[in-house]
Amino acid sequence: MTTPAEQILEPERPIIDPHHHLWDRSRLDLKEGPFADHGFTQMLRERARYLLEEFQADLDSGHNIRASVFIECRSMYRADGPKDFRCVGETEFVNGVAAMAASGTYGDARACAGIVSHVDLRIGAQAKDVLQAHIEAGGGRFRGIRHSAAYDADANVLGPLSARGVPEGLFRDADFREGFAALQPLGLTFDAWLLEPQLPDVIDLAQAFPDTAIVLDHVGGPVGIGAYAGQRETRFAGWRDQVRALAACENVVVKLGGLAMPFPGFQWSYGNRPASSQDLAKAWAPYIETCIEAFGVERCMFESNFPVDHFTCDYDTLWNAFKHLVADYSEHEKNALFSGTAARIYALDNVV
């Protein structure tokens, strides 16, 4: 079900989308499994191919997207070669897409102007060599890595993503931290995706590495499905306390988004989409407003998380929701939230 197209709010406002993916899953056998209700199978069916052409169609929806940052999604890894270096294939792939976008042939937006890929930091000190390979492959666009720590004892919370085998307490692992130590000397960032019960782990990590820039994805992953079904509202106060504690770590910034995924437990999906961007803004306001209050606009950035957040809404509706949320903010504050923070953290000069 597709909601009627909305009029674009503030269409001239420059935006950097600091969180999207590119992939081609069209050859996967997307059978319904035990997590059919989770939404990811249907999302992959609708967006099995999400490459530059598909992303550009979203960018052309009416908002003034000036540039974007690609975030790892295990896309186009090398098929062979040393196991630890196969992830460099993702950077090679995305850098090629970025070069296509930079040609201007596909529009004015500089898609993938920044690239955040993956390294398994549990390889310890050897991570430095893989990071340097990413830098070389990135053509000046490689900015950092994401190593997901999303875990829950109930496999129904993460659904098919639980098959990735992320261990409990990854961010506290000694080998992981040895690899993590290689980021700051190379001037690289770290995107942290995890779920709300794990927020103490990223707080501990940020305190242990105060000079490394950490980007908290998806407002810290509030949960309301699986073992947490029906508990999103009662867990809000605990989430808020952890966010405020994390905000005390000056090396951390937060991405405002990801709430359109299934994990928070909002009752929206492909067949039950919200009536408007205003409905989204109202539902998401407690999380967005808490993060902005805790971190300040200079440490917050709106994100699309597309195509994953297509589970709930279209690209134009998503950005309209964000614009509703901060309609009363000053120009300075809006500029920080929609482009300034992302440009600073991911070193995207001259794109706005």
pLDDT value at residue 175: 98
pLDDT value at residue 119: 98
What contacts 327, CB < 8 A, 6 or more positions away? Answer: none
Angle at 195 (CA atoms; ends 264, 265), nearest 5 degrees: 10
Helix crossing, 127-137 with 88-102: angle to 10°? 20
Taken in order of first residue, the domains within the chain and their CATH numbers are: 14-345 (3.20.20.140)
Tokens matching residue 81: 């070669």
Exposed, middle or buried, 335 (CB in 10 Å: 0-12/13-18/19+)?
Answer: middle
* Closest residue by Cα to residue 240 from 282, 303, 277, 289: 289
* Residue type at 79 in one-letter notation: A
Kindly state the DSSP code that residue 7 receives in the 8-state scheme.
Answer: P
Q: What is the pTM of this model?
A: 0.95
pLDDT value at residue 39: 65
Angle at 217 (CA atoms; ends 213, 219), nearest 5 degrees: 115
What contacts 251, CB < 8 A, 6 or more positions away? Answer: 206, 209, 210, 211, 212, 213, 214
Give CA–CA dist 94/97, Å, rounded: 5
Tokens matching residue 13: 């406002």
Give CA–CA dist 206/200, Å, rounded: 10
pLDDT value at residue 2: 47
pLDDT by 10s per residue, the chain, length 352: 445 589 999 999 999 999 999 999 887 665 555 455 566 666 767 788 999 999 999 999 899 999 999 999 999 999 999 999 999 999 999 999 999 999 999 999 999 999 999 999 999 999 999 999 999 999 999 999 999 999 999 988 988 887 788 999 999 999 999 999 999 999 999 999 999 999 999 999 999 999 999 999 999 999 999 999 999 999 999 999 999 999 999 999 999 999 999 999 998 888 789 999 999 999 999 999 999 999 999 999 999 999 999 999 999 999 999 999 999 999 999 999 999 999 999 999 888 7
Place of tokens 């639980």: 162
Angle at 16 (CA atoms; ends 25, 11), nearest 5 degrees: 105
Around Cβ 293, how many Cβ atoms within 10 Å?
13
Return left, alpha or beta for 140; rule: phi > 0 is left, psi -120 to 50 is alpha, else beta.
Answer: left
Give CA–CA dist 162/237, Å, rounded: 26
Q: What ranges make up the beta strands (E) of 196-290?
A: 214-216, 252-256
- Side-by-side strand order, sheet with 189-192: 14-20, 64-71, 110-117, 142-146, 189-192, 214-216, 252-256, 300-302
Around Cβ 13, how many Cβ atoms within 10 Å?
17
Q: What ranges make up the beta strands (E) of the chain?
A: 14-20, 23-24, 49-50, 64-71, 110-117, 142-146, 189-192, 214-216, 252-256, 300-302
Give CA–CA dist 352/343, Å, rounded: 9
* 229 φ/ψ angles, rounded to the nearest 5 degrees: -55, 130
Across the chain, how many H-helices and E-strands are there?
Answer: 12, 10
Give the C-alpha distances (Å, rounded to integers) separating 27 from 24, 30, 32, 159.
Answer: 8, 9, 15, 21
